[in-house]
Structure 1
């Protein structure tokens, strides 16, 4: 059994679609779709459990198309042992949500397709009192004989370093250095979770981890998302103002023509 490191954190999640919730509902010729926002639940509870309770609580209101991330509160609604706060989400919020989700997906796709992170190991046991750049330099030299190194990430918090190679043979050779010494310290090597080595065999697969480089770049991607949405909102405001000016100009022209 392979052992993977960096099984922490959370991945960017896609919207949840409930086909089961939509089954058995009578179709009508006229259908109005409304999105509501819900919050107030315990965020530490399992996500699937929260989604299931939301579906059960709101299914009497009509067809449930999607359950996704909650937003701002409006009124209380008792759901078992917790209160949900609900409000109608405006059209602008829905468009903003879609833009954010689309950009998150693009960031995830970029990481998933980055060939630098296909083969890698995690290294522990080295002298963690050394500066970060010195640790990287020493470990690069120690594993240089294994093959081309594409990326090194020194995690000073977890006292662990992830080293990636261009080929699978490099990863295998690096794993064989388990128990070797670096500066008098006996190191431990193990396979790090990657997109390639950590593919799920199906929904609910046990023992799978988030690829380590997803965690490494999570803060950077959060900043990218914040910057992108700041620009998106500014552009949306400009387009709205432009449309309003054109509308007012058209109305004024129409009045002038009598």
Structure 2
């Protein structure tokens, strides 16, 4: 099974002057959602809510790693005619009982370091994370609706961090097997217990489970933490060069002994 990758744009601020004049692409900031809800759940909800404004290219829901909750502001990139105007009209609308606030957001900002992410890097290595292959959903439905349904179904097992539904080259539609990534103690066993349950008329079945935590722990901890930090853009280029120089210098000293 291919590894699920959930990418996000890191944006900040709210200056409409930074939005391109074409009117076909925009980035917005959204506040008002429940910060105690898991990030992927909020991401799917916001994707659904703003889908009427155009093609939602990216949703970034930052996390406050120190407090263990979400940050209060999410960032969304939308492509479509008059996308910004349509998105701003949704400010004050109700989403799952949340009253959201929408503002224009700039395209550029200086890269910043989130010290909280480094604090949880070691804990990330030991967390129980599983990727499950599931089947039984209705492939004729929109991909986003299936993702929301599977996320809600497996949320009782732990934190759902991703739902990937590949395309089917033969039919041109969606594949009948999806990959659901869940974090939590005993998540795999809980998911197997849900296998065969009826979900909106779907007979969801778990056909395979991969223990990502076990695979991760077999890798070098230092290498993984370094890659994790780089992947999340927590270090600027000067710090990266410092890390590489220090590693090389340490190696030379050890080799000369």
Question: Which TM-score applies when normalising by structure 2?
Answer: 0.31
What is the TM-score of this pair, normalised by structure 1?
0.31
Q: Which has the higher strand share?
A: 2
